[in-house]
Amino acid sequence: MVDDNTMVCTLTVGQLKEALGLTEPDPEPTKKEKLTVPEAVEYLNEIGIPITKSTLYRYTMDSTIPFKRFGERKIIFNTTELDSWAQEKLK
């Protein structure tokens, strides 16, 4: 019997697990190994190297940043190489 002082609540299983702290934390997103120009700009900005898309293109033209070219137009960056380059830049 439910009286006026009783609260009734409906929860999904997911909501109940979350309320009880039984949910698994989201796994760390895996770092992409190969990045396009826009992704490389975002990645470098996230790790503390402020850079614009035009500056990144200039660095590729000057060969001052590691990259690979596929065909005449496609430019790809390796995250490990970008990390090493960024460490040198931050010194």
Tell me: the pLDDT tens digits for 4-48?
677 777 877 777 778 788 877 666 667 789 999 999 999 999 999
Report how far residue 76's alpha carbon sits from residue 48's, in angstroms, rounded to the nearest whole number.
20
| Count of domains for the chain | 1
pLDDT tens per residue, range 75-89:
999 999 999 999 998
| Mean pLDDT in residue range 51-67 | 97
Would 48 be classed as within a structural domain? yes
Domain range enclosing 82:
27-90
Would 4 be classed as within a structural domain? no
pLDDT computed for residue 5 by the predictor: 73
Looking up tokens 């000057």 gives 62
- Determine if the pTM surpasses 0.75: no
Report how far residue 15's alpha carbon sits from residue 39's, in angstroms, rounded to the nearest whole number.
35
pLDDT computed for residue 89 by the predictor: 84
Would 76 be classed as within a structural domain? yes
pLDDT tens per residue, range 36-47:
999 999 999 999
pLDDT computed for residue 30 by the predictor: 76
Q: What would the two tokens of residue 26 be? A: 């989201």
DSSP string covering 19-86, please? Answer: HTT-PPPPPPPPPPSEE-HHHHHHHHHHTT----HHHHHHHHHHT-S--EEETTTEEEEEHHHHHHHH
Would 2 be classed as within a structural domain? no
